[in-house]
Chain A
Amino acid sequence: MRKAVKLATIGLAAASLSACVQTRQVADLQFTPPQGEYKLLVMRPDVTVGSVKAGGLTEPRADWTEAARANILAALRAQQAGRGGQTLIMNRRDSLPGISADTVAELERLHNAVGSSIALHKFAGAELPTKRGKGLDYTLGEDAVKLGRATGYDYALFLHAEDSFADSGRVAMQVLGIAGCFVGFCAPNIGGGGQSAYASLVDLRTGEVVWFNVLQAGTQVAGIKMGDLRKPEGATQMVDRLLGRMKPGRDVRRAQAAAERAK
């Protein structure tokens, strides 16, 4: 027992000091990643980049956000082009010909609600008993189908990304916290920003949210960057981590495995 506690403590300490990148995706049971000649609509990506102050408050930075947004859009374009999909990235709510900005806004808000629900019940641990073992069982309903019918797009991708960086004051606090360890006051892990993002793929033919992925890239050590959205490489890395390895749904994977075995 004692040993277990000790091990757990060491494990916790190690985890709290380490930097990590984590993604977790959930998919509809029958989900197959889009391939071939599909048409993808990327809904106005929601990006914020800020600076973490010494006291721990995050201050939004307009210039960093602009740079990150541009980088993410470029990375998305490059990635989707490589897959053979035909992609339209919406920059504004009215950048879809023939569709009013209000319609897009409604869908964005609806997705906000559904997406938060997915985040809460699939990722934050508050699992719903009625949705257990059902993969991703959420839908945007008729609104999404209507948009698909009106525009001819097969999928809509919703993307949210935020990133923050410790400023020099925050780094100094951390150094001070570690220095304190020598006199018996240890506060090494005050945290120093990090990246979090999610992507959500909606099938516009059925209205269902078919795939959802959450990315966390953070560090407990202020000043260490886990990919920097302000730079093209960092954005490419983020887009790849988030969307690069789309797993098929459970039923599809099982069928594939069965086919493999049959061979």
Chain B
Amino acid sequence: MSLDFSRRAMLAGGAAALVAGPASARISPASLKPLIGPGYRPVDTDEKGLWQQMERVEEEVAGSNLLIRDPALNRYLQGLIGKVGGPAAKDMRIYLARVPEFNAMMFPTGFTVFFSGLLLRMRDEAQLAGVIAHESSHFLLRHQIRSWRDTKRKSNILTALSMAAGIAGGATGTYTGDLVRLAELGTILTLFRYSRQLEAEADAMGVKLIAEAGYAPLSMSETWDQLITELEWSAKERRKRVDRGYSLFATHPAPRARLDDLRISARELTVAGRSYDRGRERYLQALQPIRQTLFDDQVKLNDPGASQYIVETLAKDGWNGTLLFYRGEVHRLRNGVAYQQAAAQSYAQAVTYPDAPADAWRWHGVMLMKQGRASEGRTALQRYLAMAPNAPDAPFVRQMIQS
């Protein structure tokens, strides 16, 4: 959400009452009801205007060359919205963009954009369903128009108060500028607080939606745990503080608090003795055609902390050739003898699995040759050539084998 305040709106006024109070308590999933039904169309003037603009945005998004257009995968995602989208499930559209980041956004007219990096990080269908349900909840609870109205109302109040304070100050001969600055900050803070409140609502309703669809309610808090830990690993590797981006002004709730709330809500909604679906096999199958691309994109981000965390998180369900290969890639792209050794080890392990990609054999071969184990290295490279005879570097590898 962008905030566009004119300097003049920041002029004057003592709106201390608008200053943010303490963070709000957890929102109970049971307290939330969808605000729209199937086939919802806007009736108010402001919402109609918003929808009209968004139709244009959707046209742009739908035609973007960033989209991953694999039909089967898109059908699968659409099917998931159908399961967890509540009463408006049929009205929602999902677009998958090739961006190696954890993010998703819902637009006021009911279309949502998911980043491919999010798909890479999900361990199973239940986790993905959780994120989809969260985004669907933004639509079901009409968050965008409520947020716009909130912004409008507060900026109107601020301007009116600034004006009044200025005039009062002028009439009495006092300077009110400092008060005004305080009011500005107060207004901005309440805007962010409002948006945090909306995020918390979407979390609560999201848990309810996936629980109703038969997915494990705890999967949502797991996703958050993963995201937070990933940020921590990433920051540690880069020797940066992790809390950057979660300052006072962050639009989303403080991550730890959010995680706790989600956990409590999930426990509330979990029915003892009932078996919940995780849908891991279905998920992996749907993701299969693009999974390698997703890994490649992530590794190339040069964020070793995050990449390593992702590989190890996915490996909680068992190591395989692909995961070991990408663990090797993360190590190989770093400086230092220890990392190169770790990479060699990962490749060597990867090729013991039947699903090891051809590239695992190449790097395994290269690493062996570097270690002076030339004949073993040649065998591995021959295996690579057999698996990928048309690889762009095939002539080069043939040369390596001969020399």
A-side residues, CB < 8 A to B, are: 48, 50, 53-57, 59-63, 65, 93, 101-102, 105, 169, 173, 176-177, 179-180, 183-185, 187, 190-191
Answer whether residue B285 sits at the interface, using C-beta atoms and an 8 A cutoff. no
**A198 vs B4: C-alpha distance when bound (angstroms):** 23
Measured CB to CB, the closest approach of chain B to A88, in angstroms, equals 20
Question: What are 12 pairs between A and B in contact, CB < 8 Å?
Answer: A48-B53, A53-B156, A55-B9, A55-B155, A56-B9, A59-B46, A180-B166, A183-B170, A185-B12, A185-B170, A185-B171, A187-B163
Assess A173 versus B171: contact at CB under 8 Å? Given A50-B49, A55-B154, A60-B50. no
Q: Which of A50, A57, A177, A184 contacts B155 (CB 8 A)?
A: A57
By a CB distance below 8 angstroms, the chain A residues around B154 are 55
User: When the two chains form their complex, are residues A176 and B163 in contact, meaning their CB atoms are under 8 A apart?
Assistant: yes
A62 to B156, CA, bound (A): 22
B350 interface residue (CB < 8 Å to A): no
Q: A185 — which chain B residues lie within 8 A by C-beta? A: 12, 166-167, 169-171
Complex Cα spacing A59 to B52, Å: 12
Q: Name the CB-closest residue of B to A65.
A: B52
Tell me the bound Cα distance from A218 to B6 in angstroms: 16
Q: How far is the CA of A53 from the CA of B63 in the complex (A)?
A: 33
With the chains together, A59 CA to B49 CA distance in Å? 7
- Whether B167 lies near A169 (C-beta < 8 A) is no
**Is A63's CB under 8 angstroms from B48's CB?**
yes
Residue of A nearest to B164 (CB): A176
CA A44 to CA B167, docked complex, whole Å: 47
Give A209 Cβ to nearest chain B Cβ, in Å. Answer: 22
Q: Does B194 contact A (CB under 8 A)?
A: no
CB-nearest residue of chain A relative to B176?
Answer: A185
Q: Would you call B51 an interface residue if the criterion is a C-beta within 8 Å of the partner chain's C-beta atoms?
A: yes
B151-180 Cβ-contact flags toward A at 8 Å (1 or 0): 110111111100110110111010000000
Measured in the bound complex, the distance between the Cα atoms of B167 and A61 in whole Å is 33
Main secondary structure of the interface of B (DSSP, over half): helix
Q: Which of A56, A62, A184, A190 contacts B51 (CB 8 A)?
A: A62
Q: Are B49 and A60 closer than 8 Å at their CB atoms?
A: yes
Q: A105: which B residues are within 8 A, CB to CB?
A: 59, 63
On whether the beta carbons of A62 and B49 are closer than 8 Å, the reply is yes
Q: Contact between A55 and B46 (Cβ–Cβ < 8 Å)?
A: no
B8 touches A190 (CB 8 A): yes
Contacts of B63 in A (CB 8 A): 101-102, 105
Question: Which of chain B's residues have a CB closer than 8 A to the CB of A191?
Answer: 6, 8
Min CB–CB distance A109 → chain B (angstroms):
8
Please provide the chain B residues from 288 to 302 with a CB less than 8 Å away from any CB of chain A in the complex. Answer: none
Given A55-B155, A190-B8: A61 touches B170 (CB 8 Å cut-off): no
The 5 closest A-B pairs by CB, nearest first: A55-B155, A185-B170, A60-B49, A184-B170, A62-B48
**A55 in contact with B156 given A48-B53, A61-B45, A187-B8 (CB within 8 Å):** yes
Please report the C-alpha to C-alpha distance between residue A60 and residue B148 in the assembled complex, in whole angstroms: 12
Q: For residue B45, which residues in chain A have a CB less than 8 angstroms away from its CB?
A: 61-63
Q: Does B396 contact A (CB under 8 A)?
A: no
CA distance A183 to B167 in the complex (A): 7
Residues of chain A within 8 A (CB-CB) of B173 are 184
Asked if B11 is at the interface (CB within 8 A of a chain A CB), the reply is yes
Residues of chain B contacted by A177 (CB below 8 angstroms): 163
Could you tell me the distance in whole angstroms from the C-beta of A127 to the nearest C-beta in chain B?
26
Nearest-neighbor residue (CB-CB) of B53 within chain A:
A60
Which of A176, A183, A185, A191 has the most chain B CB atoms closer than 10 A to its own CB?
A185
Least CB distance from B111 to A in Å reads: 17
Could you tell me the distance in whole angstroms from the C-beta of B2 to the nearest C-beta in chain A? Answer: 11
CB distance from A228 to the nearest CB of B (A): 17
Give CA–CA (A176, B158) in the complex, Å. 14
| Assembly CA distance A55 to B155 (angstroms) | 5
Q: B46 to chain A: which residues have CB within 8 Å?
A: 59
Which A residues are CB-close (under 8 A) to B156? 53-55, 169
- Taking CB atoms, residues of chain A closer than 8 Å to B166 are 180, 185, 187
| Least CB distance, B269 to chain A, in whole angstroms | 38
Query: Is the pair A180, B163 in contact by a Cβ cutoff of 8 Å?
Result: yes
User: If A183-B171, A185-B169 touch, does A61 touch B159 (CB 8 Å cutoff)?
Assistant: no
From B159, B169, B171, A54 is in contact (CB under 8 Å) with: B159
Q: Is the CB of B152 within 8 A of A57?
A: yes
Residues of A within 8 A of B163 (CB): 173, 176-177, 180, 187
Docked CA distance A59–B53 (Å): 11
- Contact check, B167 vs A180: say whether CB atoms are below 8 A apart: yes
A155 CB, min distance to chain B CBs, angstroms: 24
Taking the nearest CB of chain B, how far is it from the CB of A156, in angstroms?
19
Shortest Cβ gap from A144 to chain B (Å): 18
Given known A62-B51, A185-B169, contact A173–B6 (CB-CB < 8 A):
no
Q: Is the CB of A56 within 8 A of B5?
A: yes
Asked if residues B151 and A57 are in contact (CB atoms below 8 Å), the reply is yes
Q: What's the least CB distance linking B168 to chain A, in Å? A: 8
Chain B residues with CB under 8 A of A102: 63
Interfacial chain B residues near A59, Cβ < 8 Å: 46, 49, 148, 152
In the complex, which residues of chain A have a beta carbon less than 8 angstroms from the beta carbon of B8?
56, 187, 190-191
Instruction: Pick the residue among A62, A183, A187 that contacts B11 (CB under 8 A).
Output: A187
Measured CB to CB, the closest approach of chain B to A146, in angstroms, equals 18
Evaluate contact between B167 and A173: CB separation under 8 angstroms. Answer: no
Q: Pick the contact of B159: A55, A63, A65, A179 (CB < 8 A).
A: A55
Of all chain B residues, the one with the shortest Cβ separation from A102 is B63
- Residues of A contacting B167 in the complex (Cβ-Cβ under 8 angstroms): 176, 179-180, 183, 185
Contact B49 A56 (CB under 8 A): no
Closest CB-CB distance, B60 to chain A, in whole Å? 8
Q: How many Å lie between the Cα of A56 and that of B184 in the bound state? A: 14
